[in-house]
Amino acid sequence: MHAWIENVTLQAQTTPITVLPPDPATTVVWRMTHAGESDVLIAGPRTRAAYHTSKDLPVCLRLRIRPGRALPLLGAAADELVDRTVPLSDLTGSSANALAGRLVTYKDEPEQAVEVLGDFLLGRLPRRLPDRLELVGEAAAELASEAAPRTVGETAQRLGVSERYLRRVFREAVGVSPKHFARITRVRTVIAHARRSWSDAAACAGYTDQSHLIADFRSLMRVTPEAYATGRVPLSTC
């Protein structure tokens, strides 16, 4: 399953505000309410940050799909899911409802729940996988690299394809353009290094300078780094 799922997060709502940074990945979300209601959702790539009042959910499990692998697992291209959250049943039919009911059994066993979700997704894989699967995966790894991030042109050249071709297949498979993917990844790196000074965080994420970081951060996070650090964020009204 690790070839398909990048990481698994069991969320515990310990803060009054849920922060959802921009994310180039498509995510499978299983959640339960205290009343025992269970559903499985698909959250598509998120191009900008979202801030919501936290819900009191006893279980909220997130499986983050590796870039470019949403279509084989879900039967829906990532570019159809951008900035959307839909029930898994919209993509897979009634089998998703049965899955949600089965997962209730594992509300206190998250590792087992992950296995059940993983088996369901892997069981949907077609016999023939898309030819561009590895190409997109390699491109995403290079564009996300903290050690030596590459430009889109450099990445295309190394992979032996034209920049135009890479942009087209990458957007189809991942949901966002390679350039936007790299921007989102850099901002997420900054957030991960938030305990450092902003200049250090900028250097770690590959920004040319602090002003470049602030401009990108404001565009994608909808607030300045200083406002984000002090919790002054725009709560959604929906």
- Phi-psi group of 83: left, alpha or beta (phi > 0 → left; psi -120 to 50 → alpha; rest → beta): left
What's 123's DSSP letter? Answer: T
What pLDDT does 13 receive?
Answer: 62
Q: What is the mean pLDDT of each run of 10 residues along the chain (238 residues)?
A: 88 77 96 93 97 88 94 93 97 95 94 95 90 92 79 94 96 95 92 76 79 92 91 78
In angstroms and rounded to an integer, the radius of gyration of the C-alpha atoms of the chain is 18
pLDDT at 112: 95
What confidence score (pLDDT) does residue 149 get?
Answer: 63
Please give the Cα distance from 85 to 176 (Å, whole number).
16
- Do 88 and 31 touch, CB atoms closer than 8 A? no
Number of helices and strands (H, E) in the chain? 11, 7
Q: Which strands make up the sheet holding 85-87, listed edge to edge?
A: 5-10, 59-65, 27-32, 38-43, 85-87
**Residues composing the chain:** 238
* Tokens 């561009």, located at residue: 132
Q: Of 78, 52, 191, 54, nearest to 130 (Cα)? A: 78
Contact between 215 and 203 under an 8 Å Cβ cutoff? The reply is no
Contact status, residue 96 vs residue 88, Cβ threshold 8 Å: yes
**CA 94 to CA 3: how far, in whole Å?**
26
- Give the model's pLDDT for residue 58: 87
Q: What pLDDT shows up at residue 12?
A: 65
Q: What is the pLDDT of residue 211?
A: 86
* Dihedral of alpha carbons 215, 218, 224, 228, sign: negative
Q: What gap in Å lies between CA 186 and CA 207, rounded to an integer?
A: 8
Do 66 and 126 form a contact (C-beta atoms < 8 A)? no
Contact 31, 124 (CB under 8 A): no
For residues 207 and 199, the answer to whether their CB atoms sit within 8 Å is: no
Residues in CB range of 228: below 8 A, 6 or more apart = 217, 221
pTM score: 0.90
